[in-house]
Amino acid sequence: MKIYKEKELKTPIDTLDLGKVLAGETKKYTFFVYNESTNNLINLEYSIDSSEIKIISSPKELKSKEQGLLEIEFISSVTLKEPKRVKLEVKGLEEVPYFI
């Protein structure tokens, strides 16, 4: 699975760049996840190691070559001097066809 910042899936990203946010400010962000596998992905779980960031919505399943919307919210507790960058962790299962 890959993460993109635009719906056209042009630029894959490794970290979510949330920019600079003032203390107490809330910002919402939209990213796109893409299943590049030939198999479906199921039971997807997303996590970000930051108490200031909440995942608002995310796909729980993605069919092969399907994209989904990932929405997060960042509530900054301090004014940042440098852009906030975080890593998104995704866990799930790949459905593999069973042939007899």
Name the residue ranges covered by the structural domains of the chain: 2-95
Question: What kind of architecture, by CATH, is found in domain 2-95?
Answer: Sandwich (2.60)
pTM over 0.85: yes
Smallest Cα–Cα separation from 49: which of 16, 19, 27? 16
Contacts of 65 (CB under 8 A, 6+ apart): 34, 35, 36, 38
The C-alpha atoms of residue 89 and residue 91 are separated, in whole angstroms, by 7
Token reading at 23: 């203390």
Per-residue pLDDT of the chain (100 residues; tens, 9 = 90+): 999 999 999 999 999 999 888 888 999 999 999 999 999 999 999 999 899 999 999 999 999 999 999 999 999 888 878 888 999 999 999 998 777 6
Angle, alpha carbons 55-39-15 (nearest 5°): 35
